Each structure stands twice: as structure tokens, then as C-alpha cells.
Amino acid sequence: MDQLIHLLWLGLLATSLDVDNALYMTSSTQGRSDSEQKRLIFWGLVFEFLARFSLLMLAYYLASGKEVFFTVYEFAVTPQVIALLGAGSFLFISSAGDLCDYFEGKEDGDSGATSGGKTSFTSLLVQMTIVNTVLSIDTVIAVSDMTQQLMGGAVILAVSAFIRFLFVRQIAGFIARYPETKIVVLTFLTMVGLQLILQAFHDDMPESAFNLVIVGALVSALFMYWRRTHFVVGR
């Protein structure tokens, strides 16, 4: 019982590493019907858990990703480099594009009759699984350090997935009520994508620069909210 309580506590700690996953899922499911959002979030978490468990079993091969495939100008290309570069590029391009669409007024209502989304359910689910899996590398590495038991790691990952299932729905409802928060969410995801790209090249973004961009996005969101509410009151 003491070990189970310890694993549940570790699962709660692991959830703190998954804020970027939660925000990505929230952003990806915006504009979909409520029932479709629930299915996307549920199956997204299921496939993410299976992918994480597979990474945990292959912990020091894919999670650490130290095996060198080939080198380019003395730069070693490993599984981790490929995963970080691929997911980082996708996350950066898609989030930056959604952010531009938001400011241009092309989001949600202009995206057609596919429940507010430009992508089919299956395609979006595949995209979510790929990106969330790569975003999970740090969590998998941390979990593998937390416990040497495979089933213990599975419990930690399951607790994290369950907590985020509740957490993601709350975020989605909050964003639906305050759409201006998308500016902060999409900016955060764009910066995470850029961070992943830099990490693929063994570099890192200064924390001060990251925080400055997020503060700028927050100020922009507050201004957009003030303008929307002021306009409504004025009418």
C-alpha cells in the first residue's frame, strides 16, 4: 500500500511535466463538437499512454536516443535528434500558422463544415499521437529514473493520463469562454516547438527570452479581451 501511494504521488509529479501535452491537445481539439472533443481527448490519451509505455520498455534506446544512425559534418544523428526535429518543426509550423489564422480571423467559424476543423478525426488523432509522444520523451526519461519497475512506471503514466483527462477538459472549457487565451496557448506551443528544434541541435533557448515572449502574448491577450468586452458594452 505504501508503494502504491508513493507511485500515485510520483504520477502527480509527472503530470507537472505534461503541461505542454495538455495545451497541445486543448489547442488541437478547439472548434470540434463536444462529443468529438471527448473522443479525441480520450483516444489521444490512450494512444499516448501506449506509446509512452513502449518508450519506457525501450527506455535507453528511444527515450535516451544515444545510438548514432549517421553523422553530418560531425553532427551525430540519433533517434532522439530525429524525433525532436520532426515534432518540433511540426509543432512550430502548425501552432504559428494557427496563431496567424487567429489574428486574421480565419479560425473556427471559417474552417468549413467538418465540425470546425480542417483535418479529419483520424488524421488529427495521428498527429496528436506523434507530437504528444515526442513531447513525452522528457517524462519517460524522468519516470524511468523514478522507478526501475516496469509496472511501477505504468502506474505513474496512467495516473498522469487520468489527471490530464480531467485537466484538458477544464482548459478547453476555459478557452471556449475566453477565446483570447488562444494567443497565449498558441504562442506557448510555438515556443515549445522552437525549443524542441534547438534541443535537436544540442542548443537551448534562454529562459528569459522564452518568458519575455509569453509575457508579450499575455499582454496581447488581455488587450484583445478588453477590446472585445469594451466593444460589447459599447454596443
Alpha helix (H) residue ranges in 64-120: 79-104
Q: Measured on CA atoms in the order 134, 25, 223, 96, is the torsion positive or negative? A: positive
pLDDT digits (tens, 9 = 90+) for 122-146: 888 888 888 888 777 767 766 766 6
Q: Find residue 75's DSSP bridge partners.
A: 72
Place of cell 528544434: 197
Q: Find residue 71's DSSP bridge partners.
A: 76
Quote the CA–CA distance of 74 and 136 in Å, as a whole number: 28
- Asked if residue 45 has pLDDT above 50, the reply is yes
Q: Which helix (H) or strand (E) holds 178?
A: none
Q: Cα dist. 114→31, 35, 36, 78 in Å?
A: 9, 13, 11, 38
Quote the CA–CA distance of 82 and 134 in Å, as a whole number: 10
pLDDT digits (tens, 9 = 90+) for 183-195: 887 888 788 888 8
Give this prediction's pTM.
Answer: 0.63
Please report the pLDDT score of residue 109 as a whole number: 42
Query: Assign residue 117 a region: left if phi > 0, alpha if psi is -120 to 50, beta otherwise?
Result: beta
Cell (9 digits) for 169: 477538459
- Quick one: 23 exposed, middle or buried, by C-beta within 10 A (0-12, 13-18, 19+)? buried
Please report the pLDDT score of residue 222 as a whole number: 92
Full residue range of the structural domain in which residue 31 is found: 2-234
Quick one: what percent of the chain has pLDDT higher than 70? Answer: 78
Highest mean pLDDT among 44-58, 96-110, 126-140: 44-58
Q: Find residue 77's DSSP bridge partners.
A: 70
Give the count of alpha carbons within 13 A of 205, CB side only.
17
- Centre a 10 Å sphere on the Cβ of residue 59 and count the other Cβ atoms it contains: 17
What's the structural domain count of the chain?
A: 1
Quote the CA–CA distance of 109 and 153 in Å, as a whole number: 42
